[in-house]
Amino acid sequence: MIEAVSQIPLSWFLIVAAALFSIGLYGVLARRNAVAMLMSVELMLNAVNINLIAFWRYIDPLQPTGVAWAIFVLTVAAAEAAVGLALIISIYRQRDSVIAEELDVLKY
Partner 1 sequence: MSETTLTALTWLIPAGPLLAFFLILLFLKRNHTASFITAWTGIGVALVFSWIVAGHMLGIYWQDYQNKTDVLEAHPAVIESSIAWLPIGDYYADAPHMLAGEAEAVGHVSTAVPQYNGQWLSMGVVVDPLNTLMLIMVPFTVLMIFIYSVGYHNYGQPLGTKLGTPNHGKEEPLFGRFFAMMSLFAAGMLILVVADNLLLFFIGWEIMGFCSYSLIGFWYARTYDDPNKIPPRYASIKAFMTTRVADVVMLLGIVYYYRVFGTLNFSQTMNGEALLRAAESPAVGLVGLAIITLLLFTGTDGKSAQWPLHVWLPDAMEGPTPVSAVIHAAAMVSAGIFLLLRIFPLIAVSIHSNPTVGIIIGGIGAFTALMAATMALTQSDVKGVLAFSTISQLGFMVAALGVGGFIAATFHLLTHAFFKALLFMGSGSIIHGMEHGAEHVHDHHTDPQNMFNMGGLRQKMPITFITFVIGGFALAGFPFITAGFWSKDEIFVEAFAAGTEGNFMGWVVFITLVLAAFMTAFYTMRQIALTFLGEPRTPLAEHAHESNGFITLPLILLSIPAIAAGFVGIPSNFLGTEYKSVFVNHFHDFAGAIYYEPLAVLLEAGLVSKGITTPDWSWVPISASLIVALGGLFLGWLVYGRQPLKAGEPDPLLRTLGEPLYNFLLNRWYWDSLYDRVLIRPTVFVSEVVVPQIMDKGIIDGLLHLTVRITFAIGGAMAAFERAVFGDGIDWLKDRFLDLAREFRTFQSGKIQEYALLSTVLAWIFAAFILIINFVL
Chain positions contacting partner 1, by CB under 8 A: 25, 28-30, 37, 100-101, 103-108
Which lies closer to partner 1 via its Cβ, residue 28 or residue 67? 28
User: Of the two residues 67 and 100, which places its CB atom closer to partner 1 in the complex?
Assistant: 100
**Residue with Cβ nearer partner 1 (96 or 108):** 108
Of 59, 63, 71, 69, residue with least CA distance to 6: 59
User: 99 φ, ψ to 5°?
Assistant: -80, 120
Closest distance to partner 1 from the beta carbon of 106 (Å): 6
Rounded CA-CA distance 99/63 in Å is 44
CA angle 10–16–17, rounded 5-degree value: 90
